[in-house]
Structure 1
Amino acid sequence: MSGAGASRLLEVCVDDPAGLEAAIRGGADRIELCSALALGGLTPSEGFMRLAAGAPVPVYAMIRPRGGDFVFSESEADSMLRDIEAAREAGLAGVVLGAGQADGRLDLALLERLAAASAGLGRTLHRAFDLTAPDFETALEEAIDLGFERVLTSGGARSAPDGISVLERLFERAGGRIAIMPGSGVTLATLPGLLGRLPIQEVHASCSAPATLRSRAAERLGFAGKGDRRTDEATVRALKAVLLA
């Protein structure tokens, strides 16, 4: 095992208690706690936050009140502030934040409020960052100034492998001042190629597999879809092994 491999971290996003347990058993180093991963991840319930606070690894709660874009109203901002407080009261290690303007630039005014509310918690800037194209460098400097620990990004593409050239630029520009965490489309098939070109220290993945329904009636009545997926322990373990190699 190389020194570089030994220091790489795997963050797994989960949206239910079974997924949380699978990620931990599989060896995840950090959890991004969500609801509705099919929508890219929304704020988890307070009950789920409190349950996850007992995990043996750091847990960061997604703070995103709805699906769609990242241009939030004042009432949505108020909801996000309350959710940050719920994450703090639950005892979680951090939060995952992001907010943008209609032209794609980061909403610095709102992010400053969210950052102030989450003082003392770890902070990840989520893929709202990917909408700041083509001026990723400015957005990166803004993230650093706001005190984020890391940026979760696909390099502005649908997947990290597709955005690898931008990711290379971001790693160079960051210069160790902030972590760049590739995410989206990170799988057993794509991770080796990312590791071959990027100085990755942490990576984000869903590690999911098609869900097995215990009740076909749930699908028939529209409570579940044929494309539903769940966190898979074996996939977490296998991806972690690639990082450690």
Structure 2
Amino acid sequence: MTRVPLEICVDTIEGARTAAANGADRIELCAALSEGGLTPSFGLMTTAADLPVPVYAMIRPRAGDFRFSDAEKDLILQDIAAVKRAGLKGIVIGAVDDHARLDRDFLADALSQAELPATLHRAIDTVADFDLAIETAITLGFERVLTSGQAHSAACGLEQLAHAVDLAAGRMSIMAGSGVTTENAVRLLKQASVSELHASCSVRIKARTPDLPEARLGFVPEAGIRKTDGNLVRALRLAMNRFEEAAA
């Protein structure tokens, strides 16, 4: 059995280096993972381009829904140009229209300008017609789609994930994401037959003391911030390796 790729999403250069050093096959580079992931800075992109694994940049100009204005679409195209200048290997993008369908025309334009491999992100989990969206993504030339099967977590979307795999029929990779852990990874691979897994492998780090200026002024949330954990990345990769060995 071929290696099942593990993608780790990060929003710091330390997180990216930790993921790459502990078994990640690919990095999804973001800003503000607490907001679902936004476009990273140019400095972060250029620094991450030197990592030993492929790095794909999230292209999302703001938090919230995936219906973008013309001004936001212009920002997206400028950010794609920045990804190319930074030397990253691909982009992660998605957009929907007012009818809850993939914004086909805009995505076609974005992919044409990018001239890079592209992942369709979880905007697909918000569409009204999932089957149509899968076919549209294939037609547009997406390399893969990241999806939870339109559920709150991938573990709850097993049936829809398996359906996506059947629909794609090898024409596009289906990558399960949202709540992927060592505990459910094998179930996702075995029951849904997805091609790849996507996870953050992060832990919450609280402020050392609540009276630090950063905490007192609200720069550090009371609940703390999340940080990529190398032990979690290694454990997830090991679980995936064991599944591959058993399936061989």
In the alignment, which residue of structure 2 is the partner of 1:235? 232
1:68 maps to: 64
Which position in structure 1 is the counterpart of 2:165? 171
- Residue identity (%): 50
Q: Which runs of 5+ in 2 are unaligned?
A: 243-248
Bigger RCO (CA 8 Å, 6+ sep) = 1
For 1:227 and 1:171, how far apart are their aligned partners in 2? Answer: 37
Query: What is the aligned length?
Result: 239
Instruction: Give the 3-state SS of the residue equivalent to 2:50 in structure 1.
Output: coil
Correspondence 1:123 to 2:82: no
Q: In the alignment, is the contact (CA less than 8 A) between 2:119 and 2:143 conserved in 1?
A: yes
Q: Give the counterpart of 2:197 among 195, 203, 223.
A: 203
The alignment status of 1:146 with 2:143, answered yes or no, reads no
Q: TM-score, normalised by structure 2?
A: 0.93
Matched, 1:159 2:153: yes
CA distance in 2 between partners of 1:147 and 1:196 (Å): 27
- Helix, strand or coil at the partner of 1:43: coil
* Unaligned stretches of 5+ residues in structure 1: none
Measure the CA separation in 2 of the matches of 1:23 and 1:85.
25
The one of 45, 48, 53 equivalent to 2:44 is 48
**Distance in 2 (alpha carbons) for counterparts of 1:72 and 1:197:** 35
Whether 1:114 and 2:110 are equivalent positions in the alignment is yes
State the 1:21 CA deviation: 1.3
CA offsets 1:141-181 (integer angstroms, 9 cap, x no match): 10011010000000011111111110111101111000000
- CA distance in 2 between counterparts of 1:89 and 1:213 reads 36
The amino acid across from 2:125 in the alignment is: D
